[in-house]
Structure 1
Amino acid sequence: MSIRLQKESTVITRVVAFDMRYSLPPGAGSDAVHTDPEYSLAVTHLRTGNGMSATGFALTLGPGNRLVCDAIEILAKPLLGREIEELMAEFGEVSRQISNDSAMRWLGPHKGVVHLALASITNACFDLWAKTRGVPLWKLLLDLQPEELVALLDLSYLEDALSVGDAIDLIRSQWSSRAERLPILEKGYPGYDTSVGWMAYEDEKVRELTRRAMDKGFSAFKLKVGSSDRNRDLRRAQMLRECAGDSATIMFDANQQWDLPTAMQMCRSLARLCPLWFEEPTHPDDLAAHIELASVIAPVKIAAGEHIPNRVLFKNFLRAGAMHFVQADATRLAGISEFLTVSLLARKSELPVVPHVGDMGQVHQHLVLFNRIGLGHEVQFLEYIPHLRSHFVYPADVEGGVYKTPQEPGVSSDLLNLPASHV
């Protein structure tokens, strides 16, 4: 077959958005703000001339999912007729143009429904690219030259913090030492269990789930806090520490519930339990509050990023010392490409990236491997939430509390039971 025919066969010929919703067991997924979630995926499904398909998605919690799907159908139009290799060779520019659509940008910019839609679209493009090359995402990224990798990124508005030259130099600086970090592919990437500590769970259920997680090899656990009854938070936190033991790593997540005075009081009270971090302790847009809180609660650290929507805000938080653990999420930023941009910013600031897994760990299991090998990030751990495992074609394989390295081509986002008549 000629090269021309090969290229024609990988031209994107169809884009469909799917509104996929999944009910959860009672209490699962609940926190101080999101009390009754329905895990929902706004799915972008791509088809090519040779019948290949690819999937990307962003996570929502229910009724708003349809809005994201509508935005996908509007924003994804420039993909039609594009050959995947040619598209990805300039994806940073393509992403910038899509995100700056003159009408849709008014609804953001670079946040909310339209940015979630761009995440779904972007992740589908990476899935198709990796499948076309027959490799998993982590290998695709590691195989790219520094200039090729940076061409995937939209670095606009970052010129004062991360220029194109800076990004290329940072990647190149880690090139010669990659072999030292390759053993992570055999060892797997350690996980921590969030599913033990949802807000609606009664105390005994938290104890039982923590014991089960420990039996499965987990040694790090997260508890939801931010109850209207502060004594409940203190009691449950003490219970988790006692159940997990002094050697375990524990974290507390307020999901933005506290104002600054409450956050200061509660963080001081909970600090005696030696948590690794306090996550989303107050409103995610309140940079000043994060700066003040970080100075008050030291040496306990702040984790944030689940609701920091774009690279520019991450730049500001990092520059201000307002976070210590960078919880970038490829299903809430503008997809894999903006996740990589934030990872570069964090690496330059010498801060760890510990993703929030709005993807249930499916895509991020690839990205943490790339961050470790390709960018030299230290090994931390990856959040584990198993609620949607049964809906993926290749669910993340976690054994002994460790994510095993995925081998299937793509980004591990293929879903079962997409509506057949539209696929």
Structure 2
Amino acid sequence: MHIQSVTTRDRRFTLADGAGSDAIHRTPQYSYAVCVLKTDAATEGIGLAFTLGAGNDLVCRAIDYLSEPLVGREIEELMADFGTTYRALADSPSLRWLGPHKGVVHLALAALVNACFDLWAKSRQLPLWKLLLDLSPEALVNTLDLSYLEDVLTRRQAIDLLTKSQATRSCRENVLKTGYKGYDTSVGWFNFSDERIVANTKTAMDRGFTALKLKVGSTDPQRDLRRAELIRETAGDAATIMLDANQRWNVPQALTICRELSRINPFWIEEPTHPDDVLGHRAIADAMAPYKVATGEHIPNKVIFKNFLQAGAMAFCQVDAVRVGGISEFLTVSLLAKQLNIPVVPHVGDMGQIHQHLVLFNHIGMEHENLFLEHIPHLRPYFTHPADLVRGYYQVPQEPGSSSDLID
């Protein structure tokens, strides 16, 4: 199956009634820069990068530039040594200057890489999670670029980690029967009223969710405290509550406010300050202990993830396959996190479509802890095979590919 051409689609979706809002992004427009690999068969590879609307067209244009070397490539031949191709694309001399490995060009790389993995899985008539589990450790590592990580994770170490995990896979395959637990972010968007978050919490729990997330970061900290206490009171002591500031605070503010928020016993505080501030996150993590910091939604590449992990600045790694350089870099960061004993709980900018596959592989294939995966339902009607949750659990996808096909 040969790639004959690459096209893009700029898809934007306006959300209603405060959905998707947080302390920084008050009026989001959920958008995908879509990469389409057209082949000499009827099959197409679909890859997504996530944006909030403005600039989505720039990501599509960057996909056009990056994709030129892939035209004419046969998918099995391409994926047999995809790590080499990935590095060549990421380090394209003139385009690399625009990052390196971040921003518009790296988002374009995410869409292109995700399309390659989607096409590969479809060509083998397998869902992505099954394709990844069927690969040998060597073949899986061949799809990755481990450059700049050698001080922490070598190729040999990555292969050994995956090989060791193979021996105990049967202990973790029960997740294919139970499904993967979800947590509900949509109960507590920033623009929702107090009354609405209470009603949403009750509805979510009636639907089987036991883990919920609330957006914080108000200019008035008392609003955050009031709403946090409301959701705790409504959900009860047994519920798992996460708080997400979406980068709103500087470090001194975060240190003060997080101490107050700790009284509702949060499972984590997410993105409490600027996403590039490694030492700031570590200071907050140290001050909050035993409460924990989650971050990674806006960390753009494996090297910065390495720094966060080495510094002890994150207790939960929220790498996102539509923000970093696609599935390849997601798996690289997952291996890195496993090497440093930090759980991966992805940010879900793509409504769980791709990540439902990746968390299954992470748990079964890498021994990552089976925790939960964020659920955001707002774009569900636009997918050909939307993520399916039953009683709060993601059902295991069975269709070939990465569940990224959008309805035209």
TM over 0.5: yes
Q: Bigger shift: 189-198 or 43-52? A: 43-52
Answer yes or no: is 1:109 the counterpart of 2:105. Answer: no
| Alpha-carbon distance in 2 for matches of 1:58, 1:244 | 34
Instruction: Give the corresponding residue for 1:30.
Output: 21
Among residues 109, 117, 121, which one is paired with 1:118 in the alignment?
109
Q: What CA distance in whole angstroms lies between the structure 2 residues aligned with 1:281 and 1:117?
A: 27
- Report what 2:166 is aligned to: 175
Q: Does 1:16 align with 2:7?
A: yes
1:194 alignment partner, one of 175, 185, 206: 185
SS of match in other structure, 2:214: strand
Which residue of 123, 137, 154 maps to 2:128? Answer: 137
Q: Which runs of 5+ in 1 are unaligned?
A: 1-9, 418-423
Task: Name the CA distance, whole Å, in 2 between partners of 1:294 and 1:196.
Answer: 25
Partner of 2:138: 147
Q: Does 1:213 align with 2:212?
A: no
Query: Partners of 2:401 and 2:328 in 1: how far apart?
Result: 15
Deviations 1:29-68 (A, max 9, x none): 1001011000000000111112211211111001110110
C-alpha distance in structure 2 between counterparts of 1:288 and 1:131, whole Å: 42
Per-residue CA deviation, residues 294-314 of structure 1 (Å, 9 max, x unaligned), is 111100000000011000011
- Whether 2:51 is the aligned partner of 1:60: answer yes
Q: How many residues align?
A: 408
Once the two structures are superposed, residues 200-230 of structure 1 have per-residue CA deviations (whole angstroms, 9 ceiling, x without a partner) of 0001111111111111000000000001111
AA aligned to 1:85 is E
Amino acid at match of 2:22: D
Say whether 1:363 aligns with 2:354.
Answer: yes
TM-score by length of 1: 0.96
**Secondary structure of the corresponding residue to residue 76 of structure 1:** helix
User: What is aligned with 1:325?
Assistant: 316
Deviation at 1:288, TM superposition (A): 1.1
- 1:47 corresponds in structure 2 to 38
Query: What is the aligned counterpart of 2:385 among 388, 394, 413?
Result: 394
Task: Letter of the 2:229 partner, please give it.
Answer: Q
Indicate the RMSD between aligned Cα atoms, in angstroms: 0.6
Secondary structure at 1:107's aligned position in 2? coil
Q: Counterparts of 2:171 and 2:278 in 1: how far apart (Å)? A: 37
User: For residue 120 of structure 1, what is the amino acid of its counterpart?
Assistant: A
What does residue range 232-243 of structure 1 map to in structure 2 within 5 Å? 232-243=223-234
User: What is the CA–CA distance in structure 2 between the aligned matches of 1:123 and 1:332, rounded to whole Å?
Assistant: 11
* SS of structure 1 residue aligned to 2:93: coil
SS of 1:306 mapped into structure 2? coil
SS at match of 1:208: helix
Q: Aligned residue for 1:98? A: 89
Moved over 3 A (4+): none
Give a deviation string over 1:309-354, Cα, whole Å, max 9, x none: 0000111110110000000100001000100001101111111100
State the percentage of identical aligned residues.
Answer: 61
2:307 aligned partner, one-letter code: N
**In 2: Cα distance, 1:284 partner to 1:59 partner:** 17
Residue 245 of structure 1 aligns with an amino acid whose one-letter code is G
> In structure 2, what is the Cα distance between the partners aligned to 1:319 and 1:190?
28
Q: Secondary structure at the match of 2:118?
A: helix
Unaligned stretches of 5+ residues in structure 2? none
1:258 matched residue in structure 2: 249
Aligned to 1:302: 293
Cα distance between partner residues in 2 of 1:166 and 1:130: 26
Tell me, what secondary structure is at the counterpart of 2:85?
helix
CA distance in structure 2 between the partners assigned to 1:300 and 1:54 by the alignment: 42
Q: Distance in 1 between matches of 2:232 and 2:96?
A: 46
Supply the distance in 2 between the matched residues of 1:332 and 1:13 (Cα, whole angstroms).
26
Instruction: Spell out, residue by residue over 1:238-286, the C-alpha distance to the aligned partner (whole angstroms, 9 max, x if none).
Output: 1010111110000100000000000000100000110000000000111
CA separation in 2, counterparts of 1:14 and 1:22? 26
Give the letter aligned to residue 217 of structure 1: G
State the distance in 2 between where 1:109 and 1:365 align: 29
Helix, strand or coil for the counterpart of 2:34? strand
SS in 2 for 1:252: strand
